[in-house]
Amino acid sequence: MVHLLMLGSPVAAQNGYVYQPGLWLRAWQDGSPVDDFPSNYAMLPAAALVVNKLAGTVKCSKLSDCMSQGGINYTTNLVAQFTGELLVSTEGYYTFFMTADDNSKLWLDGTPTLDADSCENGWLGGAAACVGVLKKITIWLIKGWHPFRVDYYQSTGTGSLVLQYSASGITKQAIPTANLRVLAPPFNNTSPPPPPSPPAVNCPVTGSVTLALTGATDTTAAYATCFARFTLTVDAGCVVAVSFPLAAASWSYTTLWSPVAMQDPYVEPCPRDPLPGSMLTSFTAAAVGTALQQILDTALFGKNFSGVTGVTIGADNVRIATAAPSNTLAYNIISGSLGTVLVQGTSACQAGACAYNSGCAAGRYTAGTGATRVCALCPPGSSCAGGTAASVTCATGKSAKTGSTTCSNCPAGTFASSTGQSHCTPCDAGDYQPLAGKTTCLNCPPDSYAHFPGSAACISCFFGQPVVVAGPGGLTELKLEQPSAGVVVASTSATATLSSPSCAFNPFTAACNSTLSRTIAIETDQTCGVWLYVLADTGCSSADNLTHFDGYYASASVIYATADQGGLPVGMRLNRASATAMELAVFQYATELGTEMPTLASCTDMLTLPGTGATCPPGTSPESNPQAQEGISVYRRSQCAVCMPGYECSNNTVRSCGMGYFNSLQGASACQTCPDLPPSPSESPCEDDLCYSVTPPDVVRTYCTACPAGTYQPVAGSPVCLKCPAGTYRAYGTLSTLCVDCPPGTYSADGAGACTLCKLGTAATVWRTPRDPTSGGCPACNPGHYADERGLQQCKSCPANSFSNTTGAWNCIQCGPGEVTLSTYVYSAPTYCIKCPIGTYATAEDYRCSSCPAGFETGMKSPGGYQCLPCQAGYFNPIPNAGLCTPCPPRTFATNTGARSCRVCNGGFVTGLTATATGQTGFAATGATQCDACPLRWYRPSTWTNNTCTKCGSGRETLQAGGSTVCLGCMPGWTHLNPNDTGCTMCPPGTYADIPTWSGKCRACPIGTYGPDEGIPNCYVCEPGSYQPSTGKTACIACPRGTYNEESMSSSPEACLKCRPGTYANFTGADVCNDCDGGYYQDQEGQTSCKACPPGSHCPEGASAPTACPVGYFSSGLQPYCTLCETGWTSDGNATACYPCPPDIHDGRWPEESFCWSKASRLP
């Protein structure tokens, strides 16, 4: 076919025919009554063809506007047909509106599309919408010319036929003649030609077929759901397309492939808009099958994955083979045809479940008509009881897969807000639904969480213990304990499959030295966010490069990972199997397919939990719940805390690494030897030494004398005394043969007579401490330690959040906000402060940096966070350890603080009409805390349209003061005169509006008509017997008594005529005068009653005067006719009675004669 995008002058096409702008109109009338469409227009007699011409668009407000030819109007008992082609310049949705009296049908692409007299017969997927006598339907049309036809019939009375359309950028209007064309011979329109021959068909398979699923290997699979019923169309240009019934808007499928069950099934909506295909280059079954396969191939699972492996076309059936999973789908053609390639039939359903045998099995319904009926699988979102019963759409709160016998209640954690859903919708993260069969979800209570879609409960975590706060098994009474972070430790098995080659994708397998018999920490924050990591492994436990899974509690017993580990997503599920065991599963999964279906691996291990009262495993130490105070009941009193870098933990004891030792791992049981010594210490604070007087020994002695203080002599006869070694002393007057060791906390140089107390910044931990030449006294305190008084036996460790980075310190330096201590010298206490990494924080009381969870922020983009605050309303943070929350983008909002994601505004609502949390306004504003309703006469169509309100056009209404999703045109009889009105208003009595979408003042009813009610599209004609000389009236004036009016729509009192003599009208509003009854008469005009007929006269019905009785008759009055005298009796004229004939008079007479005769006279 020649595709013309512009129509100016007629264009030559073929066989001398040209494309003329407009449509071809033919009408037939043979005098017979018409009450239905003809079964075959080609069989109508040629002699009955009364209209045969080129017409413009379909707009016959009065039939005479269209159905006329040669000066003659044809308006009753006729059938008509408009034929041609419709130009669609832009692919999209088009709405057609049709008003008809008596009836009309619109056909597009050879398919019946809209029946203007039968609201239940709107094809293409569902019933048309009805608004009064206006019918409409919305369908998807691809770009190009489309075969176009309108059938019409009219019996008696007033007839009309109007067709209009609208689309994006096209207001509701009659279809422009320039957008219509028909192939016809050139002619002068004043000389109608014979009916044109049908144009040559370029595409022999033009048409459409509806396919119903009659069999499937797996009825629950994606293609069996989304393509349970669809229509395959080939247009006049041989372009193939697939469209869906309206019910498909509630169908969906899952896109999760996983060897391990997950809570979120990743539900995606099935295709709803038509799927365009390619143009056929040949017209065989194989070519149609190839084109259909190309359309279906990438319709699901992503553009790169080939979901259909083959399509086989039979005479009346189709077979489709799919992948992911492997499935074979069987379809039967239940209506329509594509030339001879595909037709309606039952060859594939002569036997088996799809064979129709006076009904169908449960889970199936009757599809097709007559002898071509088959039993198709019940469509998704419906139930089928079997037999001859039709499928029943599932109610809200329920769903059904393909082939279902009943609709099932949505399980807890899901909902169904619309009817006919194939799958229940998982509750959004942050919402939950504890009951089955529900239509909405509930918001989690404050400080409780549902981190994954499909949650049936909300969880809070107390010192690492998950607790159901709302939902099945939830709390009936809250404790005083507040949500807080905590940790649970467990041990892998000695034969863990986590270390096997088949689990090489596991990040622990790749990074850790071993996963056999290792301690694993399950660290939980106050929002139930989880870190899972291995302890004390030099390959994966380094604090600076910790291998871990991020996750959340999905319930009180199940944890799922959230973070992908590169390549295919790697999932983790941790499920508490018993009080002392948890099953750990690590697996690969996919939510979108690439060029081929991936191989998904998984591995599991059973973790062992410490029993009640057991010793904490190496690398951990006991820690009490700080909220376990008097009067406060807690869920968990203690835990095995993970040993931090710089410490070692074993035997329920935590120790800082000593001088010359260090630890950089999470959960180490022993510190390691430092490879290098720390730098020289700095000077200690000055302090005076204690001095002792020593008398020099005599040079010459004539007697033995005791050794002076600080000396001794163990050998008799020695000439001199020996100095006491450093670290010892001897006081004068004591035994001089030995020196005494200095106790801890003191020191001495050699020759000391007394021990000296250790100075500030020094300490002596052992007996016999010599004077340190560097400090000049006791050994100086190592970095991270201090001595703030004399005579200390041991240097004190700097308390939490303080440090010393020199030797001989006598005090510690306090860390600033957002800082924690760390030991560079790997002594047993902190030697300097470091700022918490971005996204982590430490308060003044914290000794380590904590992760700031999703939904919270530290309030700074640099290290050193000292607080973790929930995102303010209007902001969100989807991941943990983010420094700053992000303002919600336009069209989304966060009402509460601590949002992990922003919610999308529903249709009719936008953000930015009021100031957001960022102080912005306007449709581009971010940080909204609420959705603002589009104001009066403004609308936003849906959740996914741009963040803007669109003003309703003239003559349209939103039906509500704000938050509208659509503008509707005013119906006939309504108007939208005041721009500030919420909606259209009814025309007052006496006025009308006959045009849809009217925005002007309602028109006054013309003379001869009236409008008794509000909201009428047309005024009523004054009936016979009445008239109306004025406009805008609500009633007609009745003709007075004694008058009548036989005409309708009279506008003058002169239309009321006086009753003629012999008639009368005794009531107002007469359309005809009554004849006087027999026995009465009226000899005047305009009378309201008749006069009694006098005696001696008779008055037949309708008499205008009495008539005297003739001779031989009589009347006593009020008689329509005079009475004949009996035989032998007679009367004079105008007699009221008869008298007998005289005796001398012949009493015989002829029958029916009333005269007496003389006997002498001869009877006549």
Tell me the per-residue pLDDT of 18-63, one tens digit each, with 9 for 90 and over.
Answer: 778 899 899 888 777 777 777 677 667 777 888 988 888 888 888 8
Q: What's the confidence (pLDDT) of residue 74?
A: 85
- Residue 227: is its pLDDT beyond 50? yes
In sequence order, the 6+-apart residues with CB closer than 8 A to the CB of 1010 are 990, 1019, 1020, 1022, 1028, 1033, 1034, 1035, 1036
Q: What's the confidence (pLDDT) of residue 1159?
A: 56
Give the predicted TM-score (pTM) of the model: 0.47
Residue where the block lists tokens 């492997």: 326
Q: What's the confidence (pLDDT) of residue 630?
A: 66
Q: What's the confidence (pLDDT) of residue 197?
A: 40
Range 430-433, long-range pairs (CB < 8 A, 24+ positions) = 430/899, 430/900, 430/901, 431/455, 432/456, 432/457, 432/458, 432/470, 432/471
Tell me the per-residue pLDDT of 934-977, one tens digit each, with 9 for 90 and over.
Answer: 988 888 888 888 899 988 877 787 777 788 888 888 888 888 87
Q: What's the confidence (pLDDT) of residue 248?
A: 86
**Residue spans of alpha helices (H) in 816-926:** none
CATH 2.40.160 spans which residues of the chain? 457-614
Q: How confident is the model at residue 770 (pLDDT cuts 50, 70, 90)?
A: very high
Tell me the per-residue pLDDT of 107-152, one tens digit each, with 9 for 90 and over.
Answer: 888 778 787 764 433 333 333 333 335 688 877 788 888 888 998 8
Tell me the per-residue pLDDT of 490-529, one tens digit each, with 9 for 90 and over.
Answer: 999 988 677 777 788 888 888 898 888 899 999 998 889 8
- Residue 753: is its pLDDT beyond 50? yes
Q: What's the confidence (pLDDT) of residue 695?
A: 33
Q: Is the model more confident about 598 or about 1060?
A: 1060
- The fold of the 11-184 domain, in CATH, is Jelly Rolls (2.60.120)
In sequence order, the 6+-apart residues with CB closer than 8 A to the CB of 968 are 956, 957, 958, 959
Q: Mean of the per-residue pLDDT values for the chain?
A: 83
Answer for the pair 25, 66: CB distance below 8 angstroms, yes or no.
Answer: yes
Q: Is the model more confident about 796 or about 191?
A: 796
The CA distance from 101 to 135, in Å, is 12
- Residue 702: is its pLDDT beyond 60? no
Average of per-residue pLDDT across 450-463: 92
Tell me the per-residue pLDDT of 338-368, one tens digit each, with 9 for 90 and over.
Answer: 988 999 998 889 888 999 999 999 999 999 8
- Residue 196: is its pLDDT beyond 70? no
Nearest Cα residue to 746 out of 721, 783, 771, 724: 771
- Looking at 283-383, which runs of residues are DSSP E strands? 308-313, 317-322, 327-338, 364-367, 374-377, 382-383
Q: What's the confidence (pLDDT) of residue 708?
A: 79
Answer for the pair 1106, 1125: CB distance below 8 angstroms, yes or no.
Answer: no
Q: What's the confidence (pLDDT) of residue 364?
A: 95
- Residue 198: is its pLDDT beyond 50? no
Query: The dihedral of CA 296, 300, 303, 309: what is its sign?
Result: negative
- 626 Rama sector, left if φ>0, alpha if ψ -120 to 50, beta otherwise: alpha
Answer for the pair 1133, 1111: CB distance below 8 angstroms, yes or no.
Answer: yes
Q: What's the confidence (pLDDT) of residue 185?
A: 62
- Residue 719: is its pLDDT beyond 70? yes
In the chain, the percentage of residues whose pLDDT exceeds 90 is: 34
The CA distance from 951 to 936, in Å, is 9
CATH 2.60.120.1560 spans which residues of the chain? 11-184
**How many helices, marked H, and strands, marked E, lie in the chain?**
3, 100
The CA distance from 830 to 797, in Å, is 8
The CA distance from 824 to 645, in Å, is 11
In the chain, the percentage of residues whose pLDDT exceeds 70 is: 88
DSSP code for 772: B
Q: How confident is the model at residue 209 (pLDDT cuts 50, 70, 90)?
A: very high
Q: List the structure tokens of 129.
A: 């919408």
The CA distance from 261 to 914, in Å, is 44
The CA distance from 640 to 666, in Å, is 13
Tell me the per-residue pLDDT of 66-90, one tens digit each, with 9 for 90 and over.
Answer: 888 888 888 888 889 999 999 998 8
Average of per-residue pLDDT across 797-803: 82
DSSP string, 1061-1079: TTEE--SSS-SSPEEPPTT
Nearest Cα residue to 141 out of 205, 7, 237: 237
- Residue 1054: is its pLDDT beyond 70? yes
- Residue 408: is its pLDDT beyond 60? yes
In sequence order, the 6+-apart residues with CB closer than 8 A to the CB of 736 are 706, 707, 711, 712, 713, 721, 730
- Residue 1100: is its pLDDT beyond 90? yes
CATH 2.10.50.10 spans which residues of the chain? 707-780
Nearest Cα residue to 910 out of 868, 938, 877, 883: 938
In sequence order, the 6+-apart residues with CB closer than 8 A to the CB of 93 are 138, 139, 140, 141, 167, 168
- Residue 681: is its pLDDT beyond 70? no
CATH number of 457-614: 2.40.160
In sequence order, the 6+-apart residues with CB closer than 8 A to the CB of 776 are 684, 689, 759
DSSP code for 655: E
Nearest Cα residue to 423 out of 453, 456, 380, 368: 380
* CATH of the domain spanning 707-780, picked from 2.10.50.10, 2.60.120.10, 2.40.160.60, 3.40.50.12780: 2.10.50.10
